[in-house]
Amino acid sequence: MFDFGLIMMSHEKEAERRVSDVSGTEGYRNPTEVKMSQIVLPCHANHRGELSVGQLLKWMDSTACLSAERHAGCSCITASVDDIHFEHIIGVGKVVNIIAKVNRAFTSSMEVGILVTCEDLYTDRQWKVCHAFATFVARRTETGKVQLKQVMPLTQTEQMEYSLAAERRRMRLIHAEIMTDLLSSSTSQLGECREYEDAVPAERTRVESVELVLPPHANHQVSTFGGQIMAWMENVATISACRLCNAHPTLRAIDMFHFRGPSHIGDRLVLKAIVNNAFKHSMEVGVCAEAYQGGEPLRHINSAFMTFEVLDSDRKPQTLPRIRPEPVDGLRRYKEAIARKKIRLDRKYIISCKHNEVPLSVPWDPSNQMYLSYNNVSALKLMDARNSWILTSEKNKVRLYTQEENQRLLFKVEMHVCVPAAQTFYLLSDLTRRTQWDQHYEECEVIMQADEDDTIYRVTTPSVSKRDKRMEFILLASRRKPCDARDPYLIALRSVTLPTHPPAELCTRGEVLCAGFTILEECSFVSKVTYYNQATPGVLPYISTDIAGLSSSFYSSFSACSLYLEANKHSQTV
């Protein structure tokens, strides 16, 4: 007979050994970590004594590239940089500290995390400026395409970043497609462009500049520094923004940089910028970089959208002039800027805020689907990466663990089943079948199939006592298959709201902040199934007696789940 306890203990001991090896060694440092410290001199600053964001981007790119090359052991190039939000301005005399390390390596690309802080040498005070993620690709060698070695996360923080890197990579791969879908679905609801008497013609903000790529602009691979290109783009975007407001603008955020092709010494880089739209306190500037040599046609190198503000003497955003877009293309850019602003607000609302700062149930609509799904999966991955769980009890090879955080109770239930991971994932992914084994699921129906990975369900649960109503949940289920063999299958659940489904009169609307399953393949016929839940008031009544040791309903449910999985191990998958 197969020994579940033996395989479980061997995996746990290995994980504990790796963590203890790190925690027991003082001064542990990630082998891919690279640090850069720069004092901000007047030559790095603008006329207001503030560090140029372009210069900062160059430093960030250089540090991240060195980290990527330390891991790859060969030359690397910048493929993309995720959205960046700048929290603070850096003045002359301050010190910029940049830390970069590889979070995860894929086949020939890797994600590098970049943290920028500012230091005041006279007060010994430090503060965060921004946190960014860049993707680098290992360049081909004479022997062909590079196969990168895997990153081995050793600390809890490294494990969390490693796990989340797979979800961020998924976002990047579908970024262009999803942005197109979101813009097309949003622009139809934006209405006509309003006319303002004092509006500034967009044409007045147009900027075009050319740069000759010289050896100082190139890296050790004779390609133009990605950071240098980003710096030139920031320069023309700043000029464009300044022409609208006749004041010095402050760059607050940059949408994803995506390098579509390389640039080399001798190239002429044509940089173009224009204000796409101006809102009350911010404006969006679109900027692109194209390259050519001799009489050849222009090559598209990069495009980006930058958000600027104008701050008064109290560092408060000023009201900006409105923009009058050009016909056709200008009007299209004007409307797309409105849609992108909505997307940015959705993203900031859903991703940037801490869980305890936002409502548990977030309104769902097509424009925020990508970020809700990302947040849903990321929250489950963060719970899975925790290593401070306390074993509360164990019955029939089902383990119940708990943990407290910010006055919230987190719990997980863990078991092993003799069912392949892919089949377990298939059986647990369909919540409508959960009524077959979970006594807490009374009814479950599909409300909407958002896409192939995301489904919205309505779930009802029985009342806890005779005087209580039944509970009702509207749940977004986000499914993910493993990125590689070390990743689990994931089924993440969280509450959302839909205008088409208000709370039912005979039910109490419950909310789930974070819940779901991870399914890890132990071997070809054994899976480790773990269920997580960040207990909320709507969930606590169903589990409180289990955690207190007064009941075993949860153990009964998961024992039933094990029997359900094994009984259906040969059913057809889709």
DSSP conformation letters of 479-495: EE--SSTTSPEEEEEEE
Q: Which run of H or of E encompasses 210?
A: strand 207-212
> Does residue 313 contact residue 288 with C-beta atoms inside 8 Å?
no
For residue 572, what pLDDT is reported? 72
User: What does the alpha-carbon distance between residue 343 and residue 370 come to, in Å, rounded to a whole number?
Assistant: 10
Q: How are strands ordered across the β-sheet holding 268-278?
A: 84-85, 250-254, 299-309, 283-292, 268-278, 207-212
Taking the chain, what is the end-to-end CA distance rounded to the nearest angstrom?
31
Which residue(s) pair with 530 in the sheet? 414, 518
Which residue(s) pair with 288 in the sheet? 272, 303
For residue 215, what pLDDT is reported? 92
Which is it for the CA torsion 152, 424, 559, 518, positive or negative?
A: positive
Of 271, 307, 275, nearest to 288 by C-alpha is: 271
* Token duo for residue 384: 């899975």
Tens digit of pLDDT at every position of the chain (574 positions)? 334 343 333 344 444 444 344 444 457 889 999 999 999 999 999 888 999 999 999 999 999 999 999 999 988 999 999 989 999 999 999 999 999 999 999 989 999 999 999 999 999 899 999 999 999 999 877 666 788 999 999 888 898 899 999 888 888 877 667 666 656 655 455 555 667 778 899 999 999 999 999 999 988 778 899 999 999 999 999 999 999 999 999 999 998 888 998 899 999 999 999 999 999 999 999 999 999 998 889 999 999 999 999 998 888 999 999 999 988 899 888 988 887 887 777 666 555 544 444 456 778 887 778 878 988 999 899 889 888 898 988 888 889 888 887 667 788 999 999 999 999 999 999 999 999 998 888 899 999 998 899 999 999 988 766 677 888 999 999 999 998 888 899 999 999 999 899 888 888 888 888 899 999 999 888 999 999 988 665 555 555 544 444 346 777 888 899 999 999 998 875 5
For residue 171, what pLDDT is reported? 81
Give the three-class secondary structure for 168.
Answer: helix
Which residue(s) pair with 401 in the sheet? 391, 412
CATH number of the domain at 30-173, out of 3.30.470.10, 3.90.105.10, 3.10.129.10, 3.30.43.10?
3.10.129.10
User: What does the alpha-carbon distance between residue 42 and residue 504 come to, in Å, rounded to a whole number?
Assistant: 64
For residue 408, what pLDDT is reported? 73
Q: How many CA atoms lie within 13 A of 178 on its CB side?
A: 17
For residue 1, what pLDDT is reported? 34
User: What does the alpha-carbon distance between residue 553 and residue 566 come to, in Å, rounded to a whole number?
Assistant: 20
* Token duo for residue 126: 């430090």
The owner of tokens 């720069």 is 38
Identify the CATH class of 370-567.
Answer: alpha beta
For residue 216, what pLDDT is reported? 92
Of 241, 250, 317, 245, nearest to 51 by C-alpha is: 250
> Does residue 494 contact residue 515 with C-beta atoms inside 8 Å?
yes
For residue 189, what pLDDT is reported? 52
> Does residue 166 contact residue 104 with C-beta atoms inside 8 Å?
yes
Which residue(s) pair with 81 in the sheet? 134, 257
Return the domain boundaries, the chain.
Answer: 30-173, 370-567
User: What does the alpha-carbon distance between residue 317 and residue 299 come to, in Å, rounded to a whole number?
Assistant: 37
For residue 294, what pLDDT is reported? 85
For residue 538, what pLDDT is reported? 52
Of 239, 253, 255, 250, nearest to 309 by C-alpha is: 250
Q: Strand ranges (DSSP E) for 33-124?
A: 34-39, 76-81, 84-85, 95-105, 109-120
What angle do the packed helices 175-187 and 156-173 form, to 10 degrees? Answer: 60
User: What does the alpha-carbon distance between residue 142 and residue 26 come to, in Å, rounded to a whole number?
Assistant: 40
Q: How many CA atoms lie within 13 A of 10 on its CB side?
A: 7
For residue 242, what pLDDT is reported? 95
Burial class (CB in 10 A: 0-12, 13-18, 19+), 467: exposed
Write down the pTM of the prediction: 0.82
